[in-house]
Amino acid sequence: MQSKLPNVGTTIFSTMSKMALDYGAINLAQGFPNFPVDEKLIDIFKDSLSENVHQYAPMAGNPLLIEEIIKLTQKQYGRQIDSAEILVTAGATQAIFTAIQALVFKDDEVVIIDPAYDCYVPAIDLVGGKCVHVSLETDFTVDWNKVEHAINSKTKMLIVNNPHNPSGKIFTQADIQSLKQIFIKNHQLYLLSDEVYEYITFEEKHISINSIPEIRERAIIVSSFGKTFHITGWKIGYLIAPENIMNEIKKVHQFLVFCVNNLAQVSLAKYLQVVDVDSLGSFYQEKRDYFRTLIQGSKFEILPSEGSFFQALSYKNITKQKDTDFVIELVKNHGIAAIPMSVFYENNLDNQILRFCFAKDNLTLEKAAEKLCQI
C-alpha cells in the first residue's frame, strides 16, 4: 500500500516507553511528569462535573477560558489580544498540525531548526511542503546567519521552539534581535513559535514572541496547558495569532476536531484564576538541580539546562557507541530509559548526547541517578 508518510514509524517516545515497561526500567525518556496534579485543579474539575459542561463548546474555545487566556497574556507578556486571536486546541500537537495545514501550500518551504521536536515534519510532508533543515551549533545555540541563508522567496514559515526540546536551551535577547531582523527583511514569512515550556525556565526568564511587536503580527504562538500544569494526558493547549491568520487556521480546526473537551476548558478557566504560573520555574528548577547534584559523581558530562523538562547528558567519556545503540544498552543492562538526541536531526547527527526528563518525583530521580552513577 502506498504511504503518505513513508518515513514515519512509531515515535521514539513510544518505543522507549515500551522498552522501559518491558525491561522494568526507570522511564526518564518520555517528557511527562509522574508526580500528582495540583489538588486545587482536581477539586475544580470535580466541581465542574455537575455544571452544564457536557455538550460541545464553541468552536474556538469556551468563552470563560478565552477570557482567562486574554488576562494571562496581558499579565505575562503585556500583550493585549482579542478573543478572535485565540484558538483552544487538543494540545500543542493539534495546534501545530492545524496551523501548518492552514498556512503551508504544496511546494512551500518551511525552515526547521534541528534537533527538532518530531511533530513538525510529518505535518509539512502531508501538505506537500518542503522542509529545509538548519542545525543548531554543537552548544545548541542558533547560528542566525545559517537560518537567514536557508530563507528564500519560497519560504512560507520558520518554526522555532523556545524553550527548546530536546536541548533545554532558551533564546537570549540577542537571539530575539536576530529573529526580528529576519522578519523585518522577509515580509512573506510566518513564524510558528512553539513555546510549550514557556513557564519552565530557570536562571533567565522566557522571552515570548507575544512580547515582540515586530514579529507577533506574523506569528502563530503555541502554548500547552498539558506542559504548564503537568496534565499532559488532558491534551489541551492553545494558539495565539492575528485575526486574519487565525481565520484560516479556524477553517481547518472546525473540520479536524470542531471543539475541545468542554469540561477541561471550564476547569482550566477556573484554575487560571487561582494558580500562580510564576512559581513553576522554581518548582522545576529544584528538580533540575536535585537531579544534577545526584549525578555529579557519574561519568556523564552534564550539559546546560536553561528551561524545559530536560537535561542533556554527554556520554563521550563512557563509550563510543552510537546514541541509538547506547540507549538500548541503558534500558536492557542498566534499567534506565532515555532518548537519543540523534533522532531529532534530519541527518541523524550523533554527538553522543542523551536526553533525560527530570519532571519526576524525587524517589524516581534518586533511583535513576543511582543507576547512572554506576555506569
Residue 243 CB partners (closer than 8 Å, separation 6+): 82, 84, 85
Residue 104 CB partners (closer than 8 Å, separation 6+): 110, 124, 127, 129, 156, 157
- Which residue in the set 33, 115, 237, 307 belongs to the binding site for ligand PLP (CB under 6 A)? 237
From the list 54-62, 90-98, 180-188, 333-341, the region that binds ligand PLP by CB under 6 A is: 90-98
In this structure, what C-alpha cell is assigned to residue 245?
A: 491568520
117 near ligand PLP (CB under 6 A): yes
- Which residue in the set 27, 48, 73, 224 belongs to the binding site for ligand PLP (CB under 6 A)? 224
Looking at the Cβ atoms of 31 and 129, the one nearer to ligand PLP is 31
* DSSP 8-state symbol, 332: I
> Shortest CA distance to 350 belongs to which of 317, 311, 322?
322
Looking at the Cβ atoms of 117 and 271, the one nearer to ligand PLP is 117
Residues 311-350: x where in contact with ligand PLP by CB under 6 A, - otherwise, as a string: ----------------------------------------
In this structure, what C-alpha cell is assigned to residue 375?
A: 555506569
- Which residue in the set 196, 280, 336, 341 belongs to the binding site for ligand PLP (CB under 6 A)? 196
> Shortest CA distance to 164 belongs to which of 318, 339, 311?
311
Looking at the Cβ atoms of 31 and 307, the one nearer to ligand PLP is 31
* Entry field: residues in the chain: 375
- Please tell me the count of residues contacting ligand PLP according to CB under 6 A: 13
> Shortest CA distance to 165 belongs to which of 356, 293, 324, 372?
356
226 near ligand PLP (CB under 6 A): yes
31 near ligand PLP (CB under 6 A): yes
> Shortest CA distance to 39 belongs to which of 263, 197, 225, 230?
230
The angle formed by the CA atoms of residues 125, 127 and 133, to the nearest 5 degrees, is 40
195 near ligand PLP (CB under 6 A): no
Beta-ladder partners of 238: 88, 223
115 near ligand PLP (CB under 6 A): no
What is the distance between the alpha carbons of residues 346 and 117, in angstroms, rounded to a whole number?
11
- Which residue in the set 92, 112, 313, 337 belongs to the binding site for ligand PLP (CB under 6 A)? 92
What is the distance between the alpha carbons of residues 176 and 195, in angstroms, rounded to a whole number?
14
Looking at the Cβ atoms of 85 and 194, the one nearer to ligand PLP is 194
165 near ligand PLP (CB under 6 A): yes
From the list 91-99, 240-248, 274-282, 284-292, the region that binds ligand PLP by CB under 6 A is: 91-99
* Sites of contact with ligand PLP (CB under 6 A): 31, 91-93, 117, 161, 165, 194, 196, 224, 226, 232, 237
